[in-house]
């Protein structure tokens, strides 16, 4: 038993050294930040933003790209730096504004806010904006394939990435405009079967009402009948 005090001291020293080693490794590797994707968006690293599905008097809007950290939450706000990838972007500075981003104190997640600005040329041209996380004094880039994000900006109707052919049928601008007017939906990510069926039914009913009132088949911009399954 006379060795017991020495054993306790040795264990205490070992625990202290282990903690210091862990803290040192954490300090050396540093906390990192990356663009977060949930189970529904794991394969998505881009966004199409169209002013065409927003009110006509909307001059600008802010998109928010979700981010998370790899590491520990800290009791202070931490700056997140990001930049435009010029070699992959053709958007003009008048079409966007990079807003400050940070991870709030004691939090693991936040957003990168980017203001998109409506200009007349977006009616006929789609611009590409690619942003990429870079090192700040607080955080460094995390997962290699989750530090950049592509944004396409326009002011005309385009097929959403989340369009569901099985519910809405073949895409057309005419059909999409009608769907927006009748339901208010402009994207379909994360919607369940009941919501998707309701959207399809509401759009189909609107087509039938129009055709009854006008005594003719509704045609899309390509002269093809507008049909919802």
- For every residue of the chain, DSSP letters joined together read -TTHHHHHHHHHHHHHHHHHHHHHHHHHH--EEEE---TTTTT--EEEEEGGGS-TT--EEEEEEEEEEES---SS-EEEEEEE-GGG----GGGEEE--EEE-TT-SEEEEEEEEE--GGGGT--EEEEEEEE--SS-EE-SGGGSEEEEEEESS----TT--HHHH-S--HHHHHHHHHHH--S--TT--HHHHHHHHHHHHHHHHHHHHHHTS--B-TTS-B----
CATH superfamily for domain 32-154: hypothetical protein (bacova_03559) (2.60.40.1740)
Give me the tens of pLDDT residue by residue for the chain, a chain 229 residues long: 454 454 545 445 454 444 444 444 443 458 999 999 865 454 467 888 999 988 889 999 999 999 999 999 999 999 999 999 999 999 999 999 999 999 999 999 999 999 999 999 999 999 999 999 999 989 999 988 899 999 999 999 989 889 999 999 999 999 999 999 999 998 898 899 999 999 999 999 999 999 999 999 999 999 999 999 9
* Domain extent listing, the chain: 1-29, 32-154, 165-214
């Amino acid at each position: 038993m006379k060795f017991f005090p020495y054993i306790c001291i040795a264990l205490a020293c070992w625990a202290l050294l282990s903690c210091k080693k862990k803290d040192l490794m954490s300090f050396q590797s540093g906390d990192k930040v990356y663009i977060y994707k949930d189970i529904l968006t794991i394969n998505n690293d881009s966004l199409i933003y169209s002013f065409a599905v927003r009110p006509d008097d909307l001059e600008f809007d802010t998109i928010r790209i979700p981010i998370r950290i790899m590491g520990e939450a800290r009791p202070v706000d931490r700056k997140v730096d990001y930049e435009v990838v010029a070699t992959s972007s053709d958007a003009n500075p008048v079409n966007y504004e990079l807003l400050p981003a940070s991870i709030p104190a004691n939090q693991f997640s936040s957003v990168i806010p980017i203001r998109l600005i409506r200009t007349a040329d977006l009616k006929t041209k789609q611009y590409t904006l690619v942003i990429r996380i870079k090192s700040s004094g607080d955080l460094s880039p995390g997962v290699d394939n989750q530090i950049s994000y592509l944004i396409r900006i326009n002011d005309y109707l385009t097929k959403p990435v989340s369009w569901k052919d099985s519910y809405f049928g073949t895409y057309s601008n005419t059909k999409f405009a009608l769907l927006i007017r009748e339901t208010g939906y402009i994207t379909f990510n994360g919607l369940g079967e009941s919501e998707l069926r309701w959207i399809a039914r509401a759009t189909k009913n609107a087509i039938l009402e129009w055709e009854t009132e006008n005594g003719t088949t509704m045609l899309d911009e390509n002269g093809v009948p507008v049909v919802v399954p």
